Amino acid sequence: MGGDGGGAGGRPYKVPLVPGPTASRDVKALHDAYPSPDLSPAFSDLYAMTQRQLRRLLHARDDITPVVQIGEGLMSLWGALKSVVHFKPISVTSGGTVSAAFRRRTRVLCVANGLYGEGFADMARSLGDHLVDVHVVLFPATSAIDVSAVSSAAREFRPDVITAVHCDTPTGLLNPADVMRALGALAAEHNALFIVDFVSSAGGAVVDITDWNVDLGCLGSQKVLGLPPTLAVATVSPRAWERIHDVGYAGYDGLLQWEGVGQDGKVAPYTHWWQGVAALHDVLVNLNLNDMVKRHNAARQYVLQRGAAMGLGLFVDDPSLSSPTCTAFRVPAGVSWATMNHKLVHEHGVGLGGSYGEFEGNVFRIGHMGYLQTDLKALQAGMDAVERVLNEL
């Protein structure tokens, strides 16, 4: 997808600057042996401690519940949507006859200025057009969200759910905190749940789910946190729990069965990955958010300066919208991204990212997310290689 192939011969890159999964630190907990998590109170204690660290990372209130599931980050998006959207008819028996009684259609308003924002709409539609109404407020993928336009759409559409993306990674755009705050306030005004994807921003940029009034937040382990793509985190507000109970979805990716896990010895609904949760806890305990935000901003600034010096066109209209975790440049005219990428990988051992959909072949991305990929020496080596390859093409 998007020309993000692995290193030569399938080996790891010498200089990994892909926008996720990121280069992973060797976290000791990943290799430790643990007893069965299904039976040991120690796992419940570990899970609860990890929840507390996630609240700290995301500026969450104590009544916000982080749920840690086994799965790639996208699982948290699916689980959030399916847990709060009535997408199945209910059967009613009357006089011995079973008839379908459909619930009121759930209205999902998707705010999009990028592929992942539109992806929320695709996911919601897949739950069934007969029970879910989806409206997309679409903005160019190069520019900011106009909250007034979203407000007008919300007044007319009267949503039950509003979705948004903090960092739309395929195009390297970060929606500013004031926009996220305004969207959260708008959701509250309409008594709608606010679902936010911050999979590729949390830890590298400030994510404040209390200030933004986020009801369901979505995070993955494979981006800034620098772990394998094996854990999905959803944060759940009290309002969201009410809707989750009303919907009653209890599938593998659903959130319903996770309520109370980590409290009073309640175990996870399926066998959990003790090593993964322990590794997540270790990363979070040792993460200084202020330092990480500064580190990511410095990486962003370095990449922007090097790109400008090379004459590369930034994809977003305004540099202030360029994410501290991922920078997207336009592929120069007359240059084949496939050729450029091949030379970077096979001649220099540098792994960058292409893009997807309408941007495939036209956009390439520098992934400066996580501790290892924000190292300025690694970024210098990567940008030096980009400069050499472009001079050769």
Could you identify the residue written with the tokens 């210098």? 380
As a whole number of angstroms, the distance between CA 234 and CA 187 comes to 18
As a whole number of angstroms, the distance between CA 86 and CA 249 comes to 9
Nearest alpha-carbon partner for 201 in 1, 372, 3, 367:
367
* Contact residues for 119 (Cβ-Cβ < 8 A; gap 6+): none
Nearest alpha-carbon partner for 163 in 219, 237, 111, 217:
111
Q: Write out the two tokens for 142.
A: 């190069």
Cα-only R_g, the chain: 22
Sign of CA dihedral 381, 387, 391, 392: positive
What amino acid is encoded at 16 in this protein?
Answer: P
Strands in the chain per DSSP E: 15-16, 65-70, 90-94, 97-101, 106-112, 132-138, 161-165, 167-168, 173-174, 193-197, 216-220, 231-236, 326-330, 350-351, 363-367
DSSP state for residue 201 in the 8-state scheme: T
Q: Is 155 annotated as a binding residue?
A: no
Residue numbering of the annotated binding site: 365
Which residue ranges make up the annotated binding site for substrate?
365
